[in-house]
Copies of this chain bind each other. A is one copy, B any other.
């Protein structure tokens, strides 16, 4: 809802809340999952690494603000950035998460293909990809946000076609498999992976043109593009994970 019935609506009657967006932008490169970090130039946490983000403007919804920051931070045009996968993660509202004032932040997860070098424009002078396995100390509660975002991505690879968001427009099944292996941190059997992907209607569809050869070392692979399905049936379950489904006895 939007306010208690008995509450007056003087805009300045309350402690002012600032509302920001934070972005956890992931990509797969060099066989590892990487997240985009910027170096803060001001206090608090001056010099520390942090997630890109910023204030929601007066006439913006949170998603527009996130899309705008995504374009700025990746150096892509608004049009290019519009094609990227962007999804609301959750909102962080601990009263003490920002020492200056009350700041509520709506966190988003974005997935980008390939390895577009970040081109920190504007306030983000130093944006760079960092392996999620080797994160530095982070400002605010940003370590927590990255952990939440990472777990969300891991889970959604199972039952959605999200993995294709990490791939270029045309990709091989080997590249798609590498996305799964990188995000899940496991090795998958190639023939079985192929069988399951092709058995999931709408997950990928073949490209008619010639197969790629490029610098690849083995037999040229067929190219596919993302299909129209968003959810996968059947799902692509990740292999056995211990310490996860507890047992009652």
A104→B102 contact, CB < 8 A: no
**A53 shortest CB reach to chain B, Å:** 4
A16→B16 contact, CB < 8 A: yes
| Interface locus among A7-15, A78-86, A172-180 | A7-15
Q: How far is the CA of A208 from the CA of B190 in the complex (A)?
A: 47
A-B contact pairs, 20 of them (CB 8 A): A1-B20, A1-B105, A1-B139, A3-B100, A4-B54, A14-B58, A16-B17, A19-B19, A19-B104, A60-B95, A61-B93, A104-B106, A201-B245, A201-B247, A201-B248, A205-B249, A231-B244, A231-B245, A233-B245, A235-B235
How would you classify the secondary structure of chain A's contact residues: helix, strand, loop or mixed? loop
A205→B248 contact, CB < 8 A: yes
Sort A-B residue pairs by CB-CB distance and give the 4 closest, nearest first: A1-B53, A62-B93, A201-B247, A227-B248
Task: Tell whether A211 is near chain B: CB-to-CB under 8 Å.
Answer: no
Task: Tell whether A202 is near chain B: CB-to-CB under 8 Å.
Answer: yes
B123→A6 contact, CB < 8 A: yes
**A92 shortest CB reach to chain B, Å:** 8
Task: Tell whether A114 is near chain B: CB-to-CB under 8 Å.
Answer: no
Task: Tell whether A25 is near chain B: CB-to-CB under 8 Å.
Answer: no
- Interface size band for A: 35 or more
Look across to chain B and name the residue whose beta carbon is closest to the beta carbon of A54: B4
Look across to chain B and name the residue whose beta carbon is closest to the beta carbon of A225: B248
**A186 shortest CB reach to chain B, Å:** 16
Task: Tell whether A189 is near chain B: CB-to-CB under 8 Å.
Answer: no
Task: Tell whether A147 is near chain B: CB-to-CB under 8 Å.
Answer: no
Look across to chain B and name the residue whose beta carbon is closest to the beta carbon of A60: B95
Residues of B within 8 Å of A56, CB to CB, are 17, 93, 104
Q: How far is the CA of A142 from the CA of B63 in the complex (A)?
A: 18
Task: Tell whether A97 is near chain B: CB-to-CB under 8 Å.
Answer: yes
Task: Tell whether A101 is near chain B: CB-to-CB under 8 Å.
Answer: yes
